[in-house]
């Protein structure tokens, strides 16, 4: 009888807690109760607040959600994943390529190698109709113009470590007397240009070019360093791909200032400015120059082959007039701080952003909500919604209740709810497999995580299948590496690390960790102890935290856990690499460029390789992937990189989740046909599963419409 009473009372208590959660937690709706414009505003819920609202500085999903409404990029992808213009009407991609005249090389059939002879030889080959050398004919047909650049002299300096006193730097002056150079303008990028031209000019024409004889050093340096400097300063060949963007006229920022090419150039310069500590810098390092040809035309020249180039210009463009050096200097003086040390990261702009996107910033109450208003002068026409509100609701149960109450318009269904809500006829339902994955990352700068045996043992001790079955309720799949599982870049031949606690203990023993009398692992009298952290407000990560802690405890590792508020977690621990191990996830793009996350140059504060992974072979493959335009070769490099990273286990790769979202059924796409007649369409996801692609056309009706395919 008592047991039955408990069973009855507990749900009642939970109901009271739920009601209190809904009625007593201050919500945006309570501040606007009775608002007759509720149908004209969209309210989203998020477990975490934004960090800062600047697309070149932020690295969290909450900030990105808001930035996508406030800012606009030059391009993005359409429903079929093809690039389309946003702040540009059109663009051209071509190449300028260069090679130095190799005075010591003998061209087949010519002998000499003076500049004009080389030019005439190539032009003659272009006119030859029957060339039976594979691929050479296509390369020659792709050449639009050939130009001789005369010899020229210049000097540069380099600071290097003094070999005698390593605490001091010494300056080396390098005088360069560069030989004549040939410039080729190509219709489109040809990554095999020089490989194919070598079949015409001689197989060793390019690789036998020695730049050291054109350089003189003061003071003198050793031969090996001479060769390194020569390859850097006067390389035998250069690929310079070019993007020429034609900007959309009459686009305005939210303050009325007209957008132009100088804003594009400023955004690039802000990213590469080391003072700003932009996590995006790796995407733009390959850029050699951004040149404003006129206010509506910008030319972007790359230092080398870079296949993901065009996709990087989807980043939101900043207003130069509000963030340039003069504006920052004025702001520093206004705040009474040193203008010399004041950077964009300290600017109030990051909490009061101005872009040229469909919504303009209105208000941000930390840990409560961010409110945006419709921008009536948006170039594509204003959105249907008058207002967009991003509410911070860390508790998922509260989010669910508020969705049912109509105080938020969508809800990301938790795994245990999928069976019940994914087919609920009261709501619009969307589902798919995530473009990303969840993982446990280890700080490889710290012992014992610098030992591959430790990382593998930690992975072997966790039953990931159990996490998928019981934490995710089957709403996930195992993942073994860093690429999107739905793409061919992912190496499906790599098998997940098997759950093997006994094998983990053997590996740990080889690394010197053995159990003491109390059952804890220790080495040289030191207990194996560390802290695993993640962000609060995410019940799945919280559950994984407990599963991992328990699994590692079973093999004798004393693991402490800590849940941190999102902004503290990111800004104080992740950005500063101040952690032992953490649980996080990546949302990925379609391109296979992993430079920012995995290249060894990206391990500094505020960069994204915060686990400190460094591997020379991986670095080489990452660069090859960035420079490869042939899809099959790119896939091959990706598979090799996947194998290396999976073998090194800097992460315990856990799973790629399956997602389900539900949306108020009254929300539809509003369209007007060619005759001016209004009609509504159902919301349908794109190929990537994005159902908010047409968000600017969304509107909420007083009653849910009935569509033909609903019976």
- Write the pLDDT tens digit of every residue in 239-283: 999 999 999 999 999 999 999 999 999 999 999 999 999 999 989
Confidence of residue 447 (pLDDT cuts 50, 70, 90): very high
User: Residue 629: its pLDDT value, please?
Assistant: 87
3-state secondary structure of 272: helix
Q: Where are any strands of DSSP class E within 528-649?
A: 529-535, 558-564, 581-587
- Give the separation between CA 190 and CA 197, rounded to whole angstroms: 11
pLDDT tops 60 at residue 510:
yes
Q: Which of 230-265 are b and which e, b meaning 16 or more Cβ less than 10 Å from the residue's Cβ?
A: beebbbbbbbbbbbbbbbbeebebbeeeebbbebbb
Residue where the block lists tokens 């104080």: 572
With pLDDT > 90 as the criterion, what percentage of the chain qualifies? 76
pLDDT tops 50 at residue 448:
yes
Of 75 and 538, the structure prediction assigns the larger pLDDT to 75
Handedness of CA 533, 536, 541, 545 (dihedral sign): positive
Tokens of 514: 């053995």
User: Residue 112: its pLDDT value, please?
Assistant: 66
CATH second-level architecture of 17-73+358-433+660-710? 3-Layer(aba) Sandwich (3.40)
User: Residue 558: its pLDDT value, please?
Assistant: 96
User: Residue 244: its pLDDT value, please?
Assistant: 98
CA distances from residue 147 to 99, 137, 144, 237, 518 in whole angstroms, order as listed: 11, 20, 10, 15, 78
User: Residue 270: its pLDDT value, please?
Assistant: 98
pLDDT tops 60 at residue 353:
yes
Average pLDDT over residues 494-520: 96
411-420 pLDDT, tens per residue? 999 998 998 9
pLDDT tops 70 at residue 30:
no
User: Residue 611: its pLDDT value, please?
Assistant: 97
User: Residue 37: its pLDDT value, please?
Assistant: 77
565-602 pLDDT, tens per residue? 988 999 899 999 999 999 999 988 888 999 999 999 99
Of 305, 340, 372, the C-alpha closest to 70 is: 372
User: Residue 26: its pLDDT value, please?
Assistant: 42
Confidence of residue 105 (pLDDT cuts 50, 70, 90): confident
- Give the separation between CA 240 and CA 127, rounded to whole angstroms: 25
Query: CATH 3.10.105.10: which residues of the chain?
Result: 436-659
Contact 494, 653 (CB under 8 A): no
For residue 668, the number of C-alpha atoms closer than 13 Å in the C-beta half-sphere is 15
Of 45, 39, 98, the C-alpha closest to 390 is: 45
Handedness of CA 75, 379, 376, 250 (dihedral sign): positive
Query: CATH 3.40.190.10: which residues of the chain?
Result: 17-73+358-433+660-710
Pick the range with the lowest mean pLDDT from 141-150, 179-188, 223-232, 320-329: 223-232
Contact 356, 72 (CB under 8 A): yes
Which residue pairs, CB below 8 angstroms and at least 24 apart, start in 269-277?
Answer: 270/56, 270/318, 270/323, 270/344, 271/56, 271/315, 273/344, 275/343, 275/344, 276/56, 276/57, 276/343, 276/344, 276/345, 277/57, 277/345, 277/605, 277/606
User: Residue 134: its pLDDT value, please?
Assistant: 75
DSSP 574: I
Q: Where are the alpha helices (DSSP H) in 614-704?
A: 616-627, 631-648
| CATH number 3.10.105.10 given to 436-659 | yes
- Give the separation between CA 467 and CA 474, rounded to whole angstroms: 9
Of 453 and 222, the structure prediction assigns the larger pLDDT to 453
pLDDT tops 70 at residue 442:
yes
Pick the range with the lowest mean pLDDT from 195-204, 242-251, 374-383: 195-204
For residue 448, whether the previous peptide bond is cis, meaning omega lies within 30 degrees of 0, is: yes
Report DSSP letters for 174-221, one per residue. EEEEE--EEEEEESS--TTHHHHHHHHH-TTTTTT---GGGEEEES--
User: Residue 368: its pLDDT value, please?
Assistant: 95
pLDDT tops 80 at residue 163:
no
Average pLDDT over residues 491-504: 96
User: Residue 345: its pLDDT value, please?
Assistant: 95
For residue 219, whether the previous peptide bond is cis, meaning omega lies within 30 degrees of 0, is: yes
User: Residue 507: its pLDDT value, please?
Assistant: 97
Confidence of residue 2 (pLDDT cuts 50, 70, 90): very low
pLDDT tops 90 at residue 705:
no
With pLDDT > 70 as the criterion, what percentage of the chain qualifies? 93
Residue where the block lists tokens 């059952």: 519
User: Residue 23: its pLDDT value, please?
Assistant: 37
Of 586, 653, 606, 599, the C-alpha closest to 625 is: 599
Average pLDDT over residues 516-535: 95
């Amino acid at each position: 009888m008592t047991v039955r009473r408990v069973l009855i009372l507990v749900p009642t208590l939970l109901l009271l807690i739920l009601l209190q959660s809904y009625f007593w937690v201050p919500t945006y709706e309570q501040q606007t109760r009775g608002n007759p414009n509720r149908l004209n505003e969209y309210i989203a819920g998020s477990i975490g607040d934004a960090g800062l609202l600047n697309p070149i500085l932020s690295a969290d999903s909450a900030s990105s959600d808001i930035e996508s409404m406030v800012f606009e990029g030059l391009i993005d992808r359409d429903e079929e994943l093809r690039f389309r213009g946003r702040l540009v009407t059109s663009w051209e991609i071509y190449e300028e390529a260069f090679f130095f005249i190799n005075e010591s090389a003998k061209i087949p059939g010519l002998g000499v190698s003076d500049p004009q002879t080389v030019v005439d030889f190539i032009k003659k080959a272009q006119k030859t109709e029957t060339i039976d050398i594979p691929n050479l004919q296509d390369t020659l047909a792709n050449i639009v113009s050939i130009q001789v650049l005369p010899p020229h002299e210049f000097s540069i300096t380099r600071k290097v470590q003094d070999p005698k006193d390593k605490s001091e730097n010494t300056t080396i002056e390098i005088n360069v007397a560069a030989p004549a150079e040939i410039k080729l303008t190509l219709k489109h990028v040809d990554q095999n240009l020089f490989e194919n031209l070598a079949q015409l000019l001689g197989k060793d024409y390019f690789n036998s070019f020695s730049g050291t004889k054109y350089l003189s050093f003061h003071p003198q340096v050793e031969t090996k360093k001479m060769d390194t400097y020569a390859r850097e300063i006067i390389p035998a060949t250069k690929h310079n791909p070019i993007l020429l963007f034609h900007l959309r006229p009459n686009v305005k920022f939210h303050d009325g200032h007209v957008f132009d090419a100088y804003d594009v150039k400023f955004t690039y310069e802000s990213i590469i400015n080391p003072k700003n500590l932009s996590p995006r810098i790796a995407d733009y390092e390959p850029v050699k120059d951004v040149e404003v040809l006129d206010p509506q035309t910008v030319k972007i020249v790359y230092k080398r082959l870079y296949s993901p180039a065009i996709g990087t210009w989807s980043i939101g463009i900043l207003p130069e007039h509000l963030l340039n050096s003069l504006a920052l200097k004025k702001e520093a003086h206004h705040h009474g701080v040193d203008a010399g040390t004041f950077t964009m990261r300290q600017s109030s702009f990051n909490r009061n952003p101005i872009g040229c996107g469909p919504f303009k910033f209105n208000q941000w109450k930390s840990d409560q909500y961010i409110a945006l208003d419709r921008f009536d002068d948006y170039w594509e026409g204003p959105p249907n919604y008058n207002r967009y509100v991003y509410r911070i609701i860390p508790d998922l149960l509260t989010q669910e209740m508020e969705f049912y109450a109509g105080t938020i318009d969508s809800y990301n269904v938790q795994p245990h709810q999928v069976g019940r809500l994914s087919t609920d006829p009261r709501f619009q339902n969307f589902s798919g497999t995530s473009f990303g994955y969840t993982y446990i990352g280890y700080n490889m700068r710290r012992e014992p995580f610098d030992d591959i045996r430790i990382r593998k043992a930690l992975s072997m001790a966790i039953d990931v299948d159990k996490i998928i079955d019981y934490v995710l309720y089957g709403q996930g799949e195992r993942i073994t590496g860093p690429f999107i599982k739905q793409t061919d870049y992912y190496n499906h031949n790599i098998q997940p690390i098997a759950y093997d606690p006994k094998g983990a203990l053997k590996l740990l023993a080889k690394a010197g960790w053995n159990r003491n009398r109390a059952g804890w692992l220790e080495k040289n009298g030191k207990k194996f102890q560390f802290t695993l952290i993640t962000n609060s407000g995410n019940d799945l990560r919280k559950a994984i935290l407990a599963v991992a802690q328990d699994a590692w405890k079973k093999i004798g590792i004393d693991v402490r856990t800590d849940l941190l508020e999102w902004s503290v977690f990111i800004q104080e621990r992740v950005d500063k690499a101040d952690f032992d191990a953490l649980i996080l996830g990546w949302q990925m793009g379609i391109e296979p460029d992993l430079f920012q996350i995995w290249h060894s140059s990206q391990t500094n504060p505020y960069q994204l390789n915060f686990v400190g992974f460094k591997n020379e072979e991986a670095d080489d493959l990452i660069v090859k992937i960035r420079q490869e335009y042939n899809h099959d070769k790119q896939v091959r490099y990706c598979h090799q990189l996947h194998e290396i990273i999976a073998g090194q286990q800097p992460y315990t790769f856990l799973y790629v989740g399956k997602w389900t979202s539900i949306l108020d059924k009254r929300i539809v796409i509003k369209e007007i046909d060619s005759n001016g007649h209004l009609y509504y369409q159902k919301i349908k996801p794109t190929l990537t599963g994005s159902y908010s692609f047409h968000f600017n056309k969304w509107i909420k009706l007083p009653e849910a419409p009935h569509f033909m395919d609903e019976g």
